[in-house]
Structure formats: structure tokens, C-alpha cells
């Protein structure tokens, strides 16, 4: 198959409209061609394309920033001699001066298929700025490695943030190119928008179910090391709002969770007791790990690894958001008064609990903290929202 960047480079008729235009690129470390050349280098060497600037999202154009809320500066690219503007530094939205540096911006970002992944919000901000300044936006489309399944509650009104760009579920099941169409319609933007579509992407097919296994995985952010992580991320990202380690500082971040003061075996047993129907499609394995940095640094943690891979993996049955919610519920049951929720300004959102910012509302936390709620109570709220989203997105699907 071919990604958008590969088609743009190999099909002169696709890039012909760029002749004589000043072209910008929004990219990150996973923005590579099929032969692993970074898109910035490949475009600069391509006939008919004149690069005038580049942009980097969270973690930077080259992926230089390890953790969340570590900002990147603007700089001049030493190889290509063009300005590189940070959209996760002094600003999150591109300034007028930044927008004046190009006529067309190419967006070549590998997404993970999760609402909280900030590249989605950056896409929205670029589209809004392009509408305001009369610029064209082209998305060079890439696969959603989590595939088409939908899961999680919709972001509630008033909970918009840099990790909540709009009323999406946690696992939205769309590509970046498709999301751009959805943003334009929902925000009623008048913008020159084009998607350079992938060729041969079949998200329902094994073994990748969204990710073509003949393509090499490059981390789109420092703690996104592989496909199983991308599959689990719509659930494990919630760990960032808790005192539990999400495995940062280990070799399998955001595939596991734990702490020095929990019994992972008991947690798994309680999860199976409470909602075994939510645990289909993967294997939960008791493990031990010691983070070299971040939460519980240098302490031996008893943990659970979510194995979303191999023969036990069932793509349509796997429910990472529910699995992680159930783990929180189990810990609440087993450890009375456990200090689970981490209180800090997540993505600079003051006065709100991080878990609520992540989930785009208080519903999930309220369900976990209420000792009388059961799995059916959560499903009763979320299943109608998942069905509604699945119907809404149909008009914007390309593949």
C-alpha cells in the first residue's frame, strides 16, 4: 500500500498544483516515506515543491522532547535553511506571522486514533487559522493503527482542551484526513482542503487491523513504541491522570500499569469478577517493573500488562477504555481510600482533575468512585454515544 506522502512523491499530477507555491510541512519523527526518508528531506528533494517553512507539534519536529508539557522552541533547520515553528512552545495556535510563511501546508502526521493525542487538536487549530488567513491545507493521509472500532464517551460541552478538540469519543476510528473533513463541517470552516488519500488501506483486515504490517513502525511520540501500545492507548492514556505508573521509564510504556502498593494478581481477579465481558480480545498478565524515570522511579511496581497482540488478540472485541476503567474500579474496591487520582494541571488546565480533562468530563471518575455502580451503568451511558458517533462519522469516511 501507499501512504499519502508516498503518493505525492511518486505521482507528479498530484503535486502539480503546488508548482510555484510556498509549501510548509507539519511533521514529526514518524513522518517518513516507505524507504524511511523523513518527509522534510524527501519533499525538499522533490521537483516542483518549494519548502518555505516547517512546523512541529507536541514533542517536536524531530521528536526531541520526552514527556508531556515539555515545550519545543522555534529554530532554523540547519540542513534546509528554513524556519521551523513550534506549535507546542510559546503558542499552540499558529500566529499570523507563521501563517504568512506559506501558501499551502502539508500535514503529514502519524496519529494513534485516540482523542487525547494532541496532533488532532493541532490539526483543528491549523484548519481554523487557514480559514482565517486564506491558506490551503493538504493532509497526506496515514493509517489509524487502532483501526475502525469506536469506544468511550463523547467529550462533554465545556470540556474542550488541547487534549479534547471536540465531541469525539476516546477511540474515534478515523484517519487524520477524515477528521479534517469532520472538523471543517462541524466548525463550518471555509478552507481550501485536500486529502492525499492512501492507496490500499484496509483497516478491517488481519493481522494489522489498521496498521499495514509490511510498513516499519516509527514512534510518532517518544512513548509510542509499537502497534500493541497504539491499540491499548485509548485506555492506558487515562493512567496519566492517576498515581499509577503507565510504564514510562520502562521499555513498554502505555501497555502496562502498576504501583509498589497494589497486588496486581488481586486486581486482575477482581476485574474478571466484575466485568469479564469487557476483557475479551486480549490477555492481562501479571508483571513486575521498575521505572527508570517518571512516577515511582526506582521502585519495584507490581503491575498488569495488556497484551493486545498475537493469537489471543480479537480486534473487534478488544475494549481498552473499558479495561482501564475496570482496573480503576477494581483498585477502588480492593483498597479503601486509595489515592488514585493525580491532582495537577494536566496540559495546563487549571482547577480540573487530570482524569476529568483526559476523559472530557467527570462521568468516568464518578462511575469509578461510586461504590454502587456496576459495568451496566457505564454501558448504559456510553453505548448510545458510541452508536451515535459511529453513525455521525459515516459521512466523512474515505476508506
Give the gyration radius of the chain's Cα atoms.
Answer: 21
Strand partners, 249: none
Do 153 and 39 reside in the same domain of the chain? yes
pLDDT digit string (tens) for 140-180?
999 999 999 999 999 999 999 999 999 999 999 999 999 99
Contacts with 275 (C-beta within 8 Å, 6 or more apart), sequence order: 322, 326, 374, 375
Do 346 and 208 reside in the same domain of the chain? no
Do 48 and 173 reside in the same domain of the chain? yes
Do 182 and 288 reside in the same domain of the chain? no
Do 53 and 185 reside in the same domain of the chain? yes
Do 96 and 181 reside in the same domain of the chain? yes
Count of domains forming the chain? 2
Query: Which pLDDT belongs to residue 348?
Result: 85
Of 336, 120, 385, which Cα lies nearest the Cα of 237?
Answer: 120
> Which ranges in 139-196 belong to alpha helices (H)?
176-187
Sheet with 256-259: strands ordered across: 256-259, 301-307, 283-289
Of 133, 144, 171, 176, which Cα lies nearest the Cα of 27?
Answer: 176
Do 139 and 18 reside in the same domain of the chain? yes
Query: Which pLDDT belongs to residue 255?
Result: 98
The CA–CA distances, whole Å, from 22 to 11, 25, 82, 97, 317 equal 19, 10, 12, 14, 46
Do 21 and 42 reside in the same domain of the chain? yes
Query: Which pLDDT belongs to residue 71?
Result: 72
Do 278 and 215 reside in the same domain of the chain? no
pTM comes to 0.96
- What is the CB neighbour count within 10 angstroms for residue 59? 25
- What is the CB neighbour count within 10 angstroms for residue 331? 22
Q: Evaluate whether 65 touches 59 at the Cβ level (below 8 Å).
A: yes
Query: Which pLDDT belongs to residue 67?
Result: 58
Of 58, 165, 186, which Cα lies nearest the Cα of 114?
Answer: 165
- How does the average pLDDT of the chain come out, rounded? 96
At 79 the three-state DSSP class reads coil
The residue range of the domain holding 27 is 4-220+392-396
Residue 40, φ and ψ in degrees, nearest 5: -60, -45
Q: How many CA atoms lie within 13 A of 318 on its CB side?
A: 29
Of 245, 239, 111, which Cα lies nearest the Cα of 173?
Answer: 111
Weakly modelled stretches of the chain, pLDDT under 50: none
pLDDT digit string (tens) for 252-281?
999 999 999 999 999 999 999 999 999 999
Name the packing angle between helices 227-236 and 320-334 (round to 10°): 50
Is there a domain that residue 380 lies in? Answer: no
Name the packing angle between helices 119-133 and 176-187 (round to 10°): 50
Do 185 and 236 reside in the same domain of the chain? no
pLDDT digit string (tens) for 55-68?
999 998 986 655 55
CA dihedral angle for residue 380, residue 381, residue 383, residue 385, rounded to 10 degrees: 150
Amino acid at each position: 500500500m501507499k501512504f499519502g506522502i508516498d503518493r505525492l512523491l511518486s505521482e507528479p499530477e498530484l503535486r502539480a498544483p503546488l508548482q510555484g507555491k510556498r509549501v510548509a510541512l507539519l511533521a514529526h519523527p514518524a513522518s517518513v516515506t516507505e524507504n524511511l526518508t523523513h518527509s522534510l528531506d524527501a519533499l525538499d528533494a522533490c521537483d516542483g515543491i518549494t519548502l518555505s517553512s516547517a512546523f512541529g507539534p507536541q514533542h517536536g519536529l524531530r521528536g526531541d522532547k520526552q514527556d508531556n508539557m515539555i515545550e519545543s522552541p522555534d529554530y532554523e533547520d540547519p540542513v534546509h535553511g528554513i524556519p521551523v515553528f513550534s506549535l507546542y512552545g510559546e503558542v499552540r495556535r499558529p500566529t499570523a506571522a507563521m501563517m504568512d510563511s506559506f501558501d499551502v501546508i502539508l500535514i503529514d502526521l502519524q496519529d494513534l486514533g485516540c482523542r487525547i493525542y494532541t496532533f488532532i487538536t493541532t490539526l483543528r487549530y491549523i484548519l481554523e487559522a487557514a480559514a482565517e488567513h486564506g491558506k490551503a491545507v493538504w493532509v497526506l493521509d496515514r493509517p489509524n493503527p487502532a483501526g475502525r472500532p469506536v469506544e468511550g464517551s463523547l467529550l462533554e460541552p465545556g470540556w474542550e482542551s488541547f487534549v479534547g478538540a471536540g465531541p469525539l469519543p476516546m477511540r474515534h476510528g478515523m484517519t487524520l484526513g477524515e477528521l479534517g473533513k469532520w472538523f471543517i463541517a462541524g466548525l463550518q470552516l471555509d478552507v481550501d482542503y485536500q486529502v492525499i488519500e492512501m492507496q490500499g488501506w484496509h483497516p478491517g483486515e488481519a493481522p494489522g487491523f489498521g496498521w499495514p504490517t509490511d510498513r516499519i513502525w516509527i514512534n510518532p511520540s517518544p512513548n509510542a513504541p509499537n502497534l500493541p501500545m497504539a491499540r491499548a492507548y485509548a485506555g492506558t492514556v487515562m493512567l496519566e491522570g492517576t498515581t499509577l505508573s503507565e510504564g514510562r521509564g520502562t521499555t513498554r510504556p502505555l501497555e502496562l500499569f502498576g504501583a509498589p502498593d497494589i497486588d496486581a494478581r488481586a486486581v486482575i481477579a477482581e476485574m474478571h469478577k466484575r466485568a469479564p465481558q469487557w476483557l475479551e480480545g486480549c490477555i492481562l498478565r501479571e508483571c513486575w517493573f521498575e521505572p527508570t524515570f517518571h512516577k515511582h522511579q526506582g521502585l519495584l511496581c507490581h503491575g498488569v500488562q495488556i497484551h493486545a497482540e498475537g493469537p489471543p488478540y480479537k480486534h473487534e472485541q478488544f475494549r481498552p477504555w473499558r479495561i482501564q476503567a475496570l482496573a480503576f474500579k477494581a483498585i477502588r474496591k480492593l483498597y479503601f481510600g486509595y489515592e488514585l487520582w493525580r491532582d495537577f494541571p494536566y496540559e495546563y488546565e487549571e482547577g480540573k482533575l487530570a482524569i476529568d480533562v483526559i476523559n472530557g468530563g467527570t462521568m468516568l471518575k464518578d462511575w469509578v468512585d461510586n461504590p454502587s455502580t456496576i459495568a451496566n451503568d457505564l454501558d448504559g451511558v456510553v453505548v448510545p454515544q458510541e452508536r451515535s458517533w459511529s453513525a455521525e462519522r459515516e459521512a466523512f469516511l474515505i476508506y
